[in-house]
Amino acid sequence: MSTVASETLPARPDADRPQPGWTRARAWNWAVLGLTVAGFAVLAWNRRWMSDDGMIVLRTVRQILAGNGPVFNAGERVESNTSTLWTFLLLAFAWIPGLRLEWLAVVTGLVCSVGGLLLALDGARRLAGATRSVFVVPLGALVVVTLPPFRDFATSGLETGLITLWLGGTWWLLVRRARHQSAGRVWLTAVVIGLGYLVRPDLALFSAVAGVGLLVLAWRGWRAGLLWIVAAAALPAAYQVFRMGYYGLLTPNTALVKEASNALWHKGFGYLADFVGPYWLWVPVVLCALIAVALLWGKRVNREIAVVVAVPVLAALGLALYVIRVGGDFMHARMLLPALFCLLLPVMAIRLTRLTVVPAIALGAWALVAVGWLRTPYTSLPHPIDEARGIADERANYVADSHHTHPILAEDFDEFTAIATPLRTLLDHEPEPVVLVQTPQGQWHAYPTTSGHDTVTFFNIGGPGLLLPLDVWVHDPIGLSNPIAAHTTPYPDRRTGHNKYAGIDWDLADGGRGTTAELAARGDFTAVRLDDIRRTLACPHNREMLDSVRAPLTFERFWDNLVHAVGRTSLRYDHDPAKNQTCG
């Protein structure tokens, strides 16, 4: 989707460098880009919110600040966050006295989103021709500004803003290099490209394509190329060694929960349809393609420009296919936003010509219709969820549940405070650590535990995790913070990302003090059920898995975790403990 005609390509290395002076074209371009970015910032701020998954990251930040390491629960080395860089970016500012972490995450996400869009727009402006007489309009950016999911996940506490910043910044560096403009040392660009794996593991796809693009653009021979590859891989490789030794796995724990290696094409295509259909997304995609063809018609494009156009387009296809293959997500559109952003990069800002005016006007008309009328069919429901597909408008859902227009703080959610406040009081009066089991009537039964930590289980763990003490083990039955649940087999045909279940009975059987008959005396669970769970967890490979996250981290433990990470990552046992009769 190139936007460059041959007459704008440089005849010599410095021909397309920005020209001095403040021309009408330059004033127009920066005014248009500035207004676009400012408009997106205002619209995203007006939809500010905080998700429970974002609060999971914040509890990890608190644990690091408290000296417990990058964990969700002190004493269990479980990587509950998908984005390593997002966690440590928040940590860089979390020490500021009096600063609420929820607000830090919301504002940082917004700044990253806005910065990423600005870099993407400036990259497209440079691609279109940085000469004094080129006027551009932000056609691709109009799609970003128009679609509600881009505005929703600009905040949310999740890493989407950082993804936008990294994608926009990486492409901006490649465009500058293609245009023979100052872009710093090549190895520094390579380091930036390599960060994709740390922003989110699946973005290694973009890193790979962008890395090839950098090699083509700056090729100086095999020796230099190998040095650039080493520079790109150094930080991800170092962290991968740390992950394997510290957590004992090849991937974040979230990848186990979502079974990211499995193919769920039917769910993935349903997830794609849930994004494309409500907004008529095929309309702007086709129009942007037509605009690219119109700009290319009858023109020649040199190799450098072809590379910087091909990189985001090929990466977009790869990212989209990956998301579809793993079954999408339970949050409407979120996992497809990076792919769409990549696809739009070459046309974020374009030159208007006689051939592009009509499709540009048509794109503007689509934007007006989309802003005024196009929504998902479930957004306005009391519970904004597509039950058939298991996909939710997450922001609308949180607004409805919290009764706040902008739910930010953990205390804004009545559900979280209703859980955490009585539990804090209850735990303060317990003389020893306990596993807490909630009865169907809402009462809490306390069982003494050998784990040394009070243990509770909730589906949503981010909010309660922020409101409860850091030494309380806050587990979830789907496995984000719970190593026992993470290694169970998934239930078929359940919501993507929520298709595992190992409830509080697994925690009770694992750590409850006493015989199963004694633990079953209150009637919460049967002795047979607890026996089955204990038998499952007693298997040597399952016991070793728990030791990998709970045993003191000595050098020997780190090394054992490291060398056995592959097998441990593939470890699964049946979610029905009655079927685990042997330690096969």
List pLDDT tens digits, range 260-272: 778 889 999 999 9
CA distance 502 to 489: 10
Residue 8 binned pLDDT confidence (cut-offs 50, 70, 90): very low
Query: Between 123 and 300, whose confidence is greater?
Result: 123
Q: Kindly report the backbone phi and psi dihedral angles of residue 514, in degrees, each rounded to the nearest multiple of 5, phi listed first.
A: 120, 175
Give the per-residue pLDDT at 12.
Answer: 39
Give the per-residue pLDDT at 497.
Answer: 78
| 425-483: pLDDT as tens digits | 999 999 999 999 999 888 999 999 999 999 999 999 999 999 999 999 999 999 999 99
Residue 5 binned pLDDT confidence (cut-offs 50, 70, 90): very low
Using the predicted structure, report yes or no on whether residue 3 has a pLDDT greater than 60: no
| 545-555: pLDDT as tens digits | 999 999 999 99
CA distance 54 to 154: 12
CB atoms within 10 A of CB 444: 14
CB atoms within 10 A of CB 298: 7
Query: Between 133 and 119, whose confidence is greater?
Result: 119
Give the per-residue pLDDT at 9.
Answer: 37
Read off the DSSP letter of residue 78.
-
Helix residue ranges per DSSP H, 407-503: 414-428, 462-467, 483-486
The answer to whether 496 and 328 have CB atoms below 8 angstroms apart is yes
Mean pLDDT over the full length of the chain: 92
Chain-centroid distance, C-alpha 238: 21
pTM of the model: 0.94
CA distance 453 to 546: 15
Using the predicted structure, report yes or no on whether residue 333 has a pLDDT greater than 50: yes
Read off the DSSP letter of residue 11.
S
Share of the chain above pLDDT 90, in %: 82
Average pLDDT of the residues in 375-386: 92
Helices (H) and strands (E) counted in the chain, each on its own, are: 27, 8
Residue 183 binned pLDDT confidence (cut-offs 50, 70, 90): confident
| 516-534: pLDDT as tens digits | 999 999 999 999 999 999 9
Residue 130 binned pLDDT confidence (cut-offs 50, 70, 90): low
Give the per-residue pLDDT at 261.
Answer: 79
Helix residue ranges per DSSP H, 277-334: 282-296, 303-325
| 42-84: pLDDT as tens digits | 999 999 999 999 999 999 999 999 999 999 999 999 999 999 9
SS3 158: coil
Using the predicted structure, report yes or no on whether residue 2 has a pLDDT greater than 80: no
Angle separating helix axes 204-218 and 222-246, nearest 10 degrees: 160
CB atoms within 10 A of CB 7: 9
| 498-508: pLDDT as tens digits | 889 999 999 99
Query: Between 260 and 538, whose confidence is greater?
Result: 538
Q: Which two tokens stand for residue 51?
A: 């998700």
| 207-233: pLDDT as tens digits | 999 999 999 999 999 999 999 999 999
Using the predicted structure, report yes or no on whether residue 235 has a pLDDT greater than 60: yes
Read off the DSSP letter of residue 129.
-
Share of the chain above pLDDT 70, in %: 95
Burial of 300 (0-12, 13-18, 19+ CB in 10 A): exposed
Give the per-residue pLDDT at 6.
Answer: 34
Query: Between 302 and 175, whose confidence is greater?
Result: 175
CA distance 561 to 413: 38
Using the predicted structure, report yes or no on whether residue 15 has a pLDDT greater than 50: no
Q: Which two tokens stand for residue 540?
A: 């040597």
| 467-486: pLDDT as tens digits | 999 999 999 999 999 999 99
Give the per-residue pLDDT at 25.
Answer: 82
Give the per-residue pLDDT at 498.
Answer: 83
Average pLDDT of the residues in 21-44: 89
SS3 454: coil
Least trusted range by pLDDT, from 136-140, 313-317, 333-337, 339-343 = 136-140
Residue 22 binned pLDDT confidence (cut-offs 50, 70, 90): low
Residues in a beta bridge with 76:
73
Question: Which residue carries 């600040």 as its tokens?
Answer: 65
